[in-house]
Structure 1
């Protein structure tokens, strides 16, 4: 038994070592599922840039329009580009067999991707493409090495390449600041990812906001009843608190003669 347990440990260790070796830094993103304007913008980005290859087949156009406050006419004119009805699922015309030929694998459905990957992962991933002539589509990704998809948002972000830029000095794990002015102390580093000026239609801050809105929509899509669940949960907790008071008083009434 001990030998079998030892063999199991030895078999598992390389897996953990591999996982530790591939860990990447993820940028934090704070999303607001009550911000309908952000989700509407994210839906627009998803429809214009993602739905050519990725479906959201567990969502319906009608449900999304209702939750995000979009009139049916606006939804049909601006989001539903295929021959689909308002109550249909958000599917795409690309066939899985064709996708395998073109991309090597069928692009995954993105309805639940925020649950599977997490908001921070999606936010970082969509901002981490860079030019790599060795790859079939000319791009790679620092979060997902050897990624098999093109950078469809490159016209917005611009050309991201390895170059030089000013970065804040870090010593002993702490960012350094000028003691007199409080401004960050920087140095030039030439192993950084930089956006070539003028190659994208959005500034870096605008692109980050665009991706944040896209992630907000995907987070909603992965759990469209989250806000409703939280609202109901609040009432349930209040009910339980009141019920506990009456239950305690009833218990005292039942046991007063015993004591």
Structure 2
């Protein structure tokens, strides 16, 4: 049973490779993309401006993240939907179990990001644009570290909310929050862009700095401290969600039957 479950989730991880190809496919015809670095910068949103004119690009780039939420948003919750009372009879320490499941979920998130980058780079090489500029390895590592933390935070939030409500409502809530922050991210670039400075009006930069979504957009990652700030932000968010999840897992009543999937 466990083996079949693991194999099922591995299929979703491999799907990231295909998504990496598809997301970058439309950029093959653009002569601007000449190196592997250029293709990696598509998915890490390093060159994405912050106006509503780029909304379509931002949504397309984030589709693989939404796909991860769809498949892994019930990774932990499924235990509560399928004979959970019998499972926990053999696993008295719910907190230990919960933490181990979070670790497994993070491994899947890291693998998902790696395959996504591999699919992206595969298309670059396949289109004979396999030049490499300096800093590629660092950029890939930072992308995997930061984005995998983002995926873990968001997927774990869906799992925890699903225990309280149900998986469909939890997914809708998290995607609504995502859309809110995406809109909030684009607002200052659309209405408060200083053409002379070629940057956002400094008086409105707080709208970017307080937005969790902006920390996976490498457009703002210029120094090592910027990368560290992104990592620390998602680690703090993860810590809060883990504490909430531990409390809920310890105290929430069992779901006797899997009504959502029956």
- The question of a shared fold, defined as TM-score above 0.5 by the shorter chain, is answered with no
Q: Report which of the two structures shows the higher radius of gyration computed on alpha carbons.
A: 1
Higher helix share: 2
Higher strand share: 1
* Larger RCO (CA under 8 A, 6+ residues apart): 2
